[in-house]
Amino acid sequence: MIRFLGISFCILAFSQVGLTQREWNNPNAAAWKVDSLHGVMHAETRTDPPHPIRLGNENIQAIYEACGRASLAVIANHTSRIPEHQGRNAPHLVDTLLSLGMDIRKVFAPEHGFRGDAHNGAHIDDEHDAETGLALISLHGKLRKPTPEMLADVRMLLFDIQDVGARFYTYLSTLFLAMEAAAETGTVLVVLDRPNPHGHQLAGPVLETHWTSFVGQIPVPILHGMTLGEMAQMINGEGWLANGVVCDLIVIPCEGYAHSDRWFPSIAPSPNLPSDESIALYPSLCLFEATEASIGRGTAHPFECAGFPGKLSGDFSFTPHSIPEAAPYPKHEGSICSGENFNVLGKQWIEASHGFDLSMVANYAASWHASHPEQPFVRTPSSFGRLSGSDAIVDAFNGNDKTAIALPDWTSDLLEFHTKQTPYWIYPLQR
């Protein structure tokens, strides 16, 4: 069952106009474009919202009408502020709902913790929130999925976390597992929807199921172009939950949002995505994580640069150092790395109709192998496979000619995925 509260809308269908263009069946007749060279489908033009976009968590009336006096658990973190554009000074969703007398029993915390100050991959323990006294149950410690016992005393589960639209950013997996737990226990899941900073584009290979992991839970491209509310609908509609269970789902949509909009969160979604540029670059640079190259963890430029120790390529230098709450053990710690600063490219991608390019990883691999022919560029092949989600990409980097890596063309897979996703869209593509 899927329900929507807060605004009226229609779900739009598309008609195929040709291999390189698809249109929404709406008055604007907005077109999709395809860049086969980089493996991207994207909105024809970027737009700016004429008024501030209202997030789902700002619609307190809809939340109250949906939840009433039901016992609640909340999946939230430091981004769960109302209104979001006021940053960390704005009241937290949990505090707001408690002030209204709503019955919150506990809070579930995702990767990076409830306060957003834990580094990537950090094991987070259960604790109690010092400000509210509520139990904080970690979904990035011993468990990734709420147990039936944890949900036994709640009727509804609220989800309010800012995502960045990349398959391997783990908040999508947290949503998926929360839906599965809710479906198995008869708990209603309420998604308070938010814009996707990459909602204007689909890019990268679709995850192959044998690479399924916490950094790739469902068969979607690296950039899926959907809000988490839309994605929750697709998870239900495509029967992706274990054993075919269906979650009793309520989506409280954003207001005033179109996928073509330039929109970035006011609160950094995690410690190593501190800027709009890092969010724009993250999907293209994340595969570097499993290689010999550093992407600037432990510096002031995480996910805005790449480089190796020594003078292999580029004229930008940086030295990773331990940053306890962001990068306690960064790759190449204490070593001067040389490479490139991609900040200018990130600024260009923020404005452009699309921005995604995995060839940067291939180019760095070629540079590495030219100087280290006997040493692999990919440090952890299993992690590289899980991040890329593609045997063809893994094979390309493991091929005989490592100085001229040819990436596969995944355009047809994007077109097929787009056909599946369109019935679940809530918002128009183009303003």
pLDDT per position as a tens digit, 169-226: 999 999 999 999 999 999 999 999 999 999 999 999 999 999 999 999 999 999 999 9
Q: End-to-end CA distance of the chain, in Å?
A: 29
Residues 6+ positions from 56 with CB-CB distance below 8 Å: 6, 62, 160, 191, 192, 193, 194, 229, 251, 252, 253, 254
Where does the pLDDT of residue 314 fall: very low under 50, low under 70, confident under 90, or very high at 90 and above? confident
What pLDDT score was predicted for residue 113?
Answer: 60
What pLDDT score was predicted for residue 112?
Answer: 59
What pLDDT score was predicted for residue 264?
Answer: 97
What pLDDT score was predicted for residue 329?
Answer: 94
CB 46 within 8 A of CB 200: yes
The answer, yes or no, to whether residue 46 has pLDDT greater than 90, is yes
The answer, yes or no, to whether residue 121 has pLDDT greater than 80, is no
Q: What percent of the chain has pLDDT over 70?
A: 89
What pLDDT score was predicted for residue 204?
Answer: 98
In this structure, how many other beta carbons lie within 10 angstroms of the beta carbon of residue 399?
11
The answer, yes or no, to whether residue 11 has pLDDT greater than 70, is no
Rounded average pLDDT over 99-116 = 83
Residue for token pair 């230098």:
317
Q: What are phi and psi of 333, to 5 degrees?
A: -55, 130
CATH 3.40.50.12170 fits 2-265+415-424, yes or no: yes
CB 153 within 8 A of CB 69: no
Rounded average pLDDT over 64-78 = 94
pLDDT per position as a tens digit, 126-142: 577 777 788 889 898 78
Residue for token pair 């580094």:
119
What pLDDT score was predicted for residue 200?
Answer: 98
Q: Return the CA Rg of the chain.
A: 21
Q: Vertex 386, ends 411 and 301: CA angle to 5°?
A: 90
What pLDDT score was predicted for residue 400?
Answer: 80
Task: Read off the pTM.
Answer: 0.90
Among 1.20.1300, 1.10.3470, 1.10.10, 3.90.1150, name the CATH number for the domain at 276-408.
3.90.1150
The answer, yes or no, to whether residue 424 has pLDDT greater than 90, is yes
pLDDT per position as a tens digit, 344-354: 999 999 999 99
Residues 6+ positions from 44 with CB-CB distance below 8 Å: 30, 31, 32, 33, 260, 353, 430
Where does the pLDDT of residue 31 fall: very low under 50, low under 70, confident under 90, or very high at 90 and above? confident
The answer, yes or no, to whether residue 338 has pLDDT greater than 80, is yes
Of 394 and 3, the structure prediction assigns the larger pLDDT to 394
pLDDT per position as a tens digit, 375-395: 999 999 999 999 999 999 999
Domain extents for the chain?
A: 2-265+415-424, 276-408
| Strand-strand pairing, 188-192 and 249-252 | parallel
Beta bridge partners of 294: 307
What pLDDT score was predicted for residue 25?
Answer: 39
Rounded CA separation 430/89 (Å): 32
Core vs surface per residue 209-218: b (16+ CB within 10 A) or e: eebebbbbbb
